Amino acid sequence: MYIGGIKEHVLNREEVLVVKIKPTFNGHSFTKNTWLITSQNDSIQISKLRFYLTNFEFIDAQNNSIKIPESNYLIDAFDQETLQFDLKTIKKTNFKHILYKIGVDEKLHDAGAQSGALDPINGMYWAWQSGFINFKLEGKSPSCNTRKNKFTFHLGGYKMPYSTTRDVRLDLYNKEKYIIIKMDISSFFNDLSLTDINQVMTPGEEAYQCSLQLPQLFSITNE
């Protein structure tokens, strides 16, 4: 079947492709509540960093699209068990691109609270009106004029014009049975002054604007 010039394949000959997520800050690993310095010269500690990666898809050398059903994962930067998962895909090693969404798409939002990664018990679901929190970042900084100097970014909302679900498309280079995706959270703060913006907890313009930064946090690495 062809969609938009790309041929879709149904999974048949399955094998496992391992995906590893590597959270970093300015290219270096970091731990919970470590003091870090942003490009805006804000000192910060990150206490929580969680986000959804969903709807995985691969494009091969022949421009075939291989979609991975039910590929919905909740990543916690400080929980090693969530930083690696298996994707069942067909027996190919010539994938050129990997595609996925940061957040939960409208179809899953409309389905409401579910199980597994999408279970409300994970603390990533507001209510049926607002849906899932796609990206959650919490911490503190002396730059924040808030109670205990805390900053809170709960980016969600799936209704236009303020949808915060973002698409990512990355080029693949290695031919191994694993992919390492680096997530550099320092880039989130590149154009963000914590003195001015430090509390975003509802869908709307601010959440939408912050979500535009999310795709640039991700890249493929061999390390």
Which residues share a beta bridge with 58? 66, 98
pLDDT band at 80 (very low <50, low <70, confident <90, very high): very high
Note the residue count of the chain: 223
Tokens for 131? 């849906």
Range name among 14-18, 106-110, 136-140, 165-169 with the lowest pLDDT average: 106-110
In the chain, where the domains are located:
2-221
Q: What is the mean pLDDT of residues 7-15?
A: 52
> Which structure tokens are listed for 164?
């915060």
The pLDDT, as a whole number, for residue 102 is: 98
Burial class (CB in 10 A: 0-12, 13-18, 19+), 92: middle
Residue 105 to residue 87: CA distance in whole angstroms: 19
pLDDT in tens, 146-189: 999 999 999 998 888 999 999 999 998 766 678 999 999 999 99
| pLDDT per residue as tens digits for the range 26-56 | 999 999 999 999 999 999 999 999 999 999 9
Q: What is the CA radius of gyration of the chain?
A: 18
Average of per-residue pLDDT values in the chain: 88
Q: Which of the pair, 82 or 126, is modelled with greater confidence?
A: 82
pLDDT of residue 16: 82
Residue 221's contacts (CB-CB under 8 Å, 6 or more residues apart) are 22, 180, 181, 182
Contact 204, 178 (CB under 8 A): no
Burial (Cβ within 10 Å: 0-12, 13-18, ≥19) of residue 91: exposed
Instruction: Provide the 8-state DSSP code for 194.
Output: T
**Whether the predicted pLDDT of 89 surpasses 80:** no
3-state secondary structure of 203: coil
Q: In the structure encoding, which two tokens stand for residue 196, read together?
A: 């001015």
With 0-12 / 13-18 / 19 or more C-beta atoms within 10 angstroms meaning exposed / middle / buried, residue 15 is middle
Model pLDDT, residue 70: 87
pLDDT category at 9 given cuts 50, 70, 90 is: very low
* Residue 81, C-beta contacts closer than 8 angstroms, at least 6 positions apart: none
Over residues 111-150, the pLDDT tens digits come to 666 778 888 888 898 876 678 999 999 999 999 999 999 9
Q: How far apart are CA 170 and CA 216, in angstroms?
A: 10
Average pLDDT estimate for 87-98? 77
Q: What six digits make up the tokens of 198?
A: 């430090």
Residue 90's pLDDT band, with cuts at 50, 70 and 90, is low
pTM attached to this predicted model: 0.89
Do 187 and 177 contact (CB within 8 A), yes or no? no
